Amino acid sequence: MHVERLLGRALNSFDLPDALVERLDSALAHASSLHSSHHSAALHRVTYRHTYLLADGSSLSLWELVHNTGRDGREQHELYTDETDVRLAASRLPIGRSGPDVELDVDLDADLELLGALLTLPTAPAPVVYVPDDSADHARRVLRRAENPDRPGEAVAARLRGAFAHHIKQVFGRQCGVAGKDAGFALYEHAFLLMDGSEMSVWEVEHTATPDGRHMCEVYEDEHTAREAMERRARVRGRVR
């Protein structure tokens, strides 16, 4: 089981709250995403986010820091429950200046999630739980990272500046072959609760169906258009379901 392997290899897994570990026992599916990577002559450091879908319909994330500071350059693994904590731990690692230092940090704002599909879902849809967490800024970042020419315009951006809570849901994810290469596709709904009491969603497509395999984000105003965009990118017949 993925979570057991994750806990088993972490040096500090004993620091995780018992209640959190117990919640992970009900995990139905998981998705892992690369968030940052640093490589220099002295240090290789990578950060991942592991997100688990739980039986009650909620999700839980763990942040994993992997670095080569063990004896003889062996890999070490650490786990954290908060992004701030893992970034602080990463910053404390010695970078060193003995050779070329190439910084490959992925923009954390982009929230890169090259995920496999969450294959097991709850038997009944869980109610949407909106979380007030800098939601207007989250909306701004989602729209900012969109690379498609037909992304939502200023009218949508203006409405989302009034967002005070939001909810993120992955509704599709899979790997497939595109032009002889593997490519990952994921579709997310970013749902927002606005100050006037109304609700509004934008739909984000993340994929690697690019000529060089680079990760790309596209954002659309409705699910139908987002799924059509995935179909075009995947070059497959029929609707993606």
Residue range 194-233, pLDDT digits in tens = 988 899 999 999 888 787 778 889 999 999 999 988 888 7
pLDDT of residue 158: 96
pLDDT of residue 238: 35
Q: Of all residues in the chain, what percent carry a pLDDT higher than 90?
A: 27
Closest CA to 210 of 187, 190, 235: 235
Q: Taking 80 as the threshold, does the pLDDT of residue 180 lie above it?
A: no
DSSP 115: P
pLDDT of residue 161: 95
Asked if 45 and 76 count as a contact pair (C-beta separation under 8 A), the reply is no
Least confident residue range of 71-75, 77-81, 188-192: 71-75
pLDDT of residue 104: 39
Closest CA to 148 of 234, 240, 224, 221: 221
Residue 1 has a CB neighbour count (10 Å cut-off) of 10
Confidence at 155, pLDDT banded by 50, 70, 90: very high
155: phi then psi, degrees, rounded to nearest 5: -60, -45
Confidence at 126, pLDDT banded by 50, 70, 90: low
In this prediction, residues 119-125 reach a mean pLDDT of 43
Containing 226, the helix (H) or strand (E) segment is: helix 223-234
DSSP secondary structure string, 175-200?
A: EEEETTEEEEEEEEEEEEEETTS-EE
CA gap 192, 131 in Å, rounded: 9
Q: In what order do the strands lie in the sheet with 163-178?
A: 163-178, 181-194, 199-207, 216-220
Q: Taking 90 as the threshold, does the pLDDT of residue 109 lie above it?
A: no
Confidence at 108, pLDDT banded by 50, 70, 90: very low
Closest CA to 46 of 11, 3, 5, 93: 93
pLDDT of residue 95: 62
Confidence at 175, pLDDT banded by 50, 70, 90: low
pLDDT of residue 120: 37
> What's the whole-number average pLDDT of the chain?
78
Q: Taking 90 as the threshold, does the pLDDT of residue 68 lie above it?
A: no
Q: Taking 70 as the threshold, does the pLDDT of residue 107 lie above it?
A: no
CA dihedral 185, 110, 133, 24 (to 10 degrees): 50
